Structure formats: structure tokens, C-alpha cells
Amino acid sequence: MAHKTFLQHAIKALIVFAVVFSVFSALEFNSENPYFSGYDSFYHIGMAEYILENGLPHKFPYLYYTTLNEQFTDNHLLFHLMLVPFILLFGNVAGPKIFIAFSFALVFALLYIFLSKLKFAWALPFTTLAFFLEPSDFYFRQAFIRNPAPSLLFLLLALYFLHRKRLWPLTILAFLYGWLYTGGGFLFLLALLAIYSVVSWAMKTKLNVKLVLYPAIATILSLVINPYFPENIKSIFLQVWQTGLQAKEYSGGEWYPYDTWFWLSISYIPLLIWFGAVIIALRKKLKISRIGWVVFFFSIFLLVMQWKSKRFVEYWPFFAVLSGILLTGKQIEAWGKELRQGLSSSGLTGGSRKNLKNIGILLLITILLVTSYFYAKNEWSRAWRDTASNADFNVAAAKEAHDYLKNMSRPGDIVFTDDWDVFPLYFYLNRKNYYIVGLDPEFMNQYDPKLYLRYAAISSGEDAINLERIKTDFRAKWVIVASDHPDFRTNLEAEPNLFKKVFSNKEYTVFKVL
């Protein structure tokens, strides 16, 4: 009997994996976008290729005028190593997409297994709802070639191991997670362990101290037993505090909060599930399990993080829906059983109070299902549109410009770019040359604040007088300008004694510094 039950769950988990992998692969391999969504996707693939070709970098002259030049830290080391076999097997376009879809599918297969272990009779329907009823930005950002999908998988695995009290798997996972997401993400796991401890204390439930202490120690060890120690500690401070919690005006838009109304418009179903579950649990005075309380408080932690920064949409909606399931899933199953019994015994005919109640419940279920259908349709359509285009750059046109640079430049020539956020694409296309700044402008600001201000003034087109600094201060041999920086291009064209236009297509212009 146990073997049969195991086999049934295994088959259902495989079905979940196959469905999620197929659906999410369609998003990844959007026919209208032959490359990737998100700027950083290009950097992570480029870095995986660099590691494959050269080994781990400890200096990074590709960001020449930043703190990373002499003291580079790979904050996503394990992620880049995990990308390598997929790139070798499937190439540097299909391979990373397959890896992300594979990781994302594992999340929901594990979710089904987790709910089954918690004795949810409706584990499969709940998993299906959790997959289809997320905000569009959740799917869009999970489709990036970045570590949110494997990070989500690691966090769910940690939750599973905590519930099952699997000490050594959790400890090993904690160490690996530190290598997966050194740039602050490991703090999620520490927060989860802390919440588990506090909930255990508050519920007066026996706590195996080792179950919390060993993974916490492993997390700290992952920072010390690390090829980038001790520079990684400085990088964590910069990434979490100065770039994240104290984001400057020039930092990436993902570090800023959503417009409130837009956030509500894309999140109302996860919010409804979460708040509805809280209300039901309070009114019915339901007994909440320890793991239910842990996920509830962890989702509150993630909600606060998302209010600070929109990038945490990669985590909060998933755990909000999971929290709703854990809080009231058993009660909903009981109501469903009661409704089926009522309908089978008396149907909907007659005007008895019980029949009227059943009609009201069915009407409410219908409204919720219809609302959920249109929500899912709208959010998945928006996610499809978002992944369909990289409106900020034309990869094919950029490749033409960088093919010219690779043919005409010398190794290590510095290329002056028109903005800091173009670096991931350029690094993906051309690792023969070096660039001024990228990943985050704070790295250059930390290196030399005055130099960063000069760069910002020149590249934006505001400073048309001191263009000779491109040669004297930045020692650049080439300048590449996109069509969205017409003032900068006009300034360069006005100085033929300093710059010679050597390449141009519909999107990019390349100048040689004379």
C-alpha cells in the first residue's frame, strides 16, 4: 500500500514537473524574443562562459574603473557553475533557458511533494493554483537568466528539510545556498531559520537546536570557505546596504518600490488568497501548524522587502499563496467534502435552508474561479508581452557593432559606453575589450566619485566641452553610442579632431578615439 501511494505521488510530481517545464519553456523560448529578458541575463551567461574558458576570475578589468577591477567577487558563483553544463550541452542561448525552466519546474514539483507530505488531499489542485495564480512580474523576472528560480527552489527545500527535521541535508543546502547567492540572498535562509526558532519558542514546541544552529553555521562558513573571501564580505555590505537598502538615484529601477496601484492590480489574487486565509483562520479559530506559522511570518518578511524593492516580487507572491494554503487548506478540503456530501444527498432542488446554502457556496466558488481565470489569463498574457521584447536594445544590431570592435580593436582596449547598464549585453557579445562601468554604478562611485560624475556628465550628453577626457582620463580607444543617446553622439560628431566615426547601423555608432 505504501509503495503504491509513493508511486502515485511520484507520477503526479513528474506530471507537475512536465506541465510547468512545458508552459514555462514556452515563456522562455518566446518566439518574439530570440535572446533573453532582463539586462543581467547576458552578464550571467557571459560569466559562465568566462569561467568555462578561463577559470574563476579574481580580477575583472572588464569593469575597468570600478572596485571590481582589482578585487572581483562572484556573488553568484554556484549559479554560474550550474549554468556551465547546460551551455556545453545546448549552447549559450538555449542552454540557460532550459536550466531556468528546469529549476522553475522543480520548484512546483517539490511544492506538490511538500503538500503531499503534509497530508493535503488536494495537493495537486493547490499546486496548480499556486503555479497559475501569480503576478505577471513574478513570471517575467523568474524567466531572467538569474538565480531567483534556483534560489526559490533552495528556500522551499530548506522549508521541507526543516519540517522533516533533516539536519544534514539542510546543513549542506545552507552551505550551497551561500555560494549560490552570496550577494545578500543567503540572508533569506537565515531569516527563515530565525523565524522557525521564534515560532517554536512561542508555540512551546520542542526545538532541536542543531536543526537551526548547524545550517546557520554552514551559511557563515560558506562565506569564509569561499574562493572570494575576504573580499566577498565587503561586497555583501556594498550589495545589501549601499546598493539595496540605501539605493541611490542612479541605482537600477528594481531597487525601488512599485507604484501602489500597479502592485495591487497585479497582485490582488495572491493578496486575496493570503488575507482570505488569515480571516478564515481567525474566525474559525483554526489550529495552525508550526510550519504554517513559519511560512506566514516569512511571507510577511518578504512582503516588507517587496514594499522596499520591486525585485522581491520573485519571492513574496509564491510564499503568500503557500501561506494561504497552509493556513486554511485543510479547512477548505473539509468544506469541499461537506459540500459534495450535501449535493449527493439532497441536490439543489427544493427551498430548504441547506440547499440555499449549497447554491450560495457554488455561486461563490463560480465567481472565484471565473475571477481567477481572468486574472491568470491577464497576468500570463502580460508576462508573455514582457518577455517578448527587449525594447531597450537591439541584440542583433549590438552584435554587428561589437563584431566590428572585435575585428578592429586590440585585446584590452577600453571602450567608453554611453551608460552603465549596457555592460551585461556588451560583456556577453565581446570579451576582447574592457568597459568603464557596469552591474551597478555604485561600484564606480566607490572607486572614484569624481571620475564617476565626469563619466555620467559626458555619457549623458550634458558635458559637451570636456570630451578629451574620454582619452586623457579614461584612456578609451573606442566609443560606442546607442540611438537613445543622440546628444552624446552629436557631441562626438562635433569633435572630428578627437573622434572618428568608423561604424554605424540603425541602432549603434562606433567612434575611434584619435
Contacts of 172 (CB under 8 A, 6+ apart): 218
- Which residue did the predictor score with more confidence, 240 or 168? 168
Average pLDDT over residues 202-219: 92
Largest CA distance in the chain: 93
Angstrom distances, CA of residue 19 to CA of 13, 102, 387 = 10, 11, 19
Cα–Cα distance measured from residue 67 to residue 505, given in angstroms and rounded to the nearest whole number: 33
Distances in Å between the Cα of 193 and the Cα atoms of 68, 108, 155, 207 are 32, 22, 11, 12
Out of 60-64, 210-214, 357-361, which region has the weakest mean confidence (pLDDT)? 357-361
pLDDT value at residue 1: 57
Q: What percent of the chain has pLDDT over 90?
A: 74
DSSP summary character for residue 311: G
What are the pLDDT digits (tens) for 184-207? 788 899 999 999 999 999 998 888
What is the spatial distance between Cα 429 and Cα 434, in angstroms, rounded to a whole number?
12
Contact 205/290 with Cβ under 8 angstroms?
yes
* Helix H or strand E encompassing 157: helix 148-164
User: What's residue 352's pLDDT?
Assistant: 60
DSSP conformation class of 257: P
Q: List the domain boundaries for the chain.
A: 2-34+73-329, 330-388, 395-513
Radius of gyration of the chain (CA): 26
Displacement of CA 95 from its chain's centroid (Å)? 18
Q: In the prediction, which pLDDT does 251 show? A: 57
For residue 14, the Cα-to-chain-centroid distance in whole angstroms is 24
Pick the more confident residue, 247 or 332: 332
pLDDT at residue 510 is higher than 90: yes
- Please say if the pLDDT value at position 484 is more than 70: yes
pLDDT-above-70 percentage for the chain: 92
pLDDT at 348: 56
For the cut 60, the answer to whether the pLDDT of residue 244 exceeds it is no
**DSSP structural state of residue 253:** G
Q: Look at residues 418, 333, 369 and name the one whose alpha carbon lies nearest to residue 123.
A: 333
Mean pLDDT of the region 165-171: 96
pLDDT of residue 3: 67
- What whole-number distance in Å separates Cα of residue 132 and Cα of residue 155? 20
Could you report the per-residue pLDDT of 286-304, keeping only the tens digit for each? Answer: 899 999 999 999 999 999 9
DSSP 327-340: HHHHHHHHHHHHHH
Give the 3-state secondary structure of residue 71: coil
Q: What is the pLDDT of residue 495?
A: 95
Q: Are 265 and 317 in contact (CB under 8 A)?
A: no
Least confident of 87-101, 225-239, 409-423, 486-500: 225-239
CB 352 within 8 A of CB 108: no
Contact 79, 40 (CB under 8 A): no
Mean pLDDT, residues 245-274: 80
Structure confidence at residue 249 (pLDDT): 59
38: left (phi over 0), alpha (psi -120 to 50) or beta: left
Residue that wins the pLDDT comparison between 361 and 110: 110
- Average the pLDDT over 333-355 and give the result: 69
pLDDT number for residue 252: 59
How far is 446 from 238, CA to CA, in rounded Å?
9
Q: How far apart are CA 148 and CA 83, in angstroms?
A: 14
Interhelix angle 40-54/77-117, rounded to 10 degrees, is: 120
Residue 393: all three cell numbers together: 536594445
Cell 497585479 belongs to 266
Q: What is the mean pLDDT of residues 64-84?
A: 95
Tens digits of residue pLDDT in 392-435: 678 999 999 999 999 999 999 999 999 999 999 999 999 999 99
Q: Mean pLDDT for the chain?
A: 91
What's the pLDDT score for residue 34?
87
